[in-house]
Amino acid sequence: MRLCRPVLAATLMAVILALASPCFAGSSAPIPVNNPAAQQNSFIDLLALMSGHCKTLKVAGRTFACKTVAYAHGDKGRVNFAVAVDDPTDENHVVSFSGENGKRADDNSYELPIDRMLLNSKDRPRIDGLPVPAEQVSTGVCRQTGNFAAKKVKDVTCSATDSEGRSYELLFVSDGRPVSVRRIRQSAPSIQDPFK
């Protein structure tokens, strides 16, 4: 059963807001993690939902489909490309490529260095009824082609490897519909923009 877009947006936002410490749902065994210190008191100030499909979504060697991809910017500069995994056994299965200090090379390209993966499933501990994602120290990069201000994103590609050697890959391609951008609260921008 597919969630409607507003419910999925609320679920993604709740998951992204609840940063702390993974295992995955389904038949796979829990994935051990090395959690960095959780970033506390950070709030999402911008959320952009993109429609399209994942040509590739690999999580620690397993291939999945996705429901949607969202870009979430935190008021302290942390950015997540959150992927709602199309997992029939777990409606809370969300994987996020997370990093800071994203850069725009031009108006239609954005690059985010990844320093951790946020992994969420129905089996995660809960705070205020919401599952808290596990954080896995990682290295990698996400690249986005398109522009949120114009509400057009062509694609998002991400690749990361965690400290245990597990790899994560995403190739998301837009279906051409406008991006749904929601400014939640005002904050200082964290993108290094050479054109300003």
Torsion sign, CA atoms 101, 105, 108, 109? negative
- Per-residue confidence (pLDDT) for residue 146, from 0 to 100: 94
**pLDDT at residue 61, rounded to an integer:** 86
Kindly tell me if the per-residue pLDDT of 124 is higher than 70.
yes
Q: What is the pLDDT of residue 186?
A: 59
pTM of the model: 0.76
Token pair for 24 = 């995955």
Highest mean pLDDT among 63-67, 167-171, 180-184: 167-171
Report the mean per-residue pLDDT for the chain.
80
Q: Is the pLDDT of residue 151 over 80?
A: yes
pLDDT in tens, 15-56: 443 332 233 333 333 444 444 444 445 688 889 999 999 999
Query: Which residues have a Cβ under 8 Å from the Cβ of 70 and sit 6 or more positions away?
Result: 9, 12, 13, 16, 47, 48, 49, 50, 80, 81, 82, 84
Gap between the Cα atoms of 45 and 175, Å rounded = 25
DSSP state of 15: H
Question: Kind and range of the H or E element at 17?
Answer: helix 5-17
Name the token pair of 30: 């829990």
pLDDT tens per residue across span 57-88:
999 989 999 999 999 999 888 999 999 999 88
Q: From residue 100, how far is each of 89, 97, 167, 187 by CA, in Å?
A: 32, 11, 20, 15
Q: Is the pLDDT of residue 90 over 50?
A: yes
For the record, the structure tokens of 127 come out as 């705070």
Check whether 145 has a pLDDT greater than 70: yes
For a pLDDT cut of 70, what percent of the chain falls above it? 72
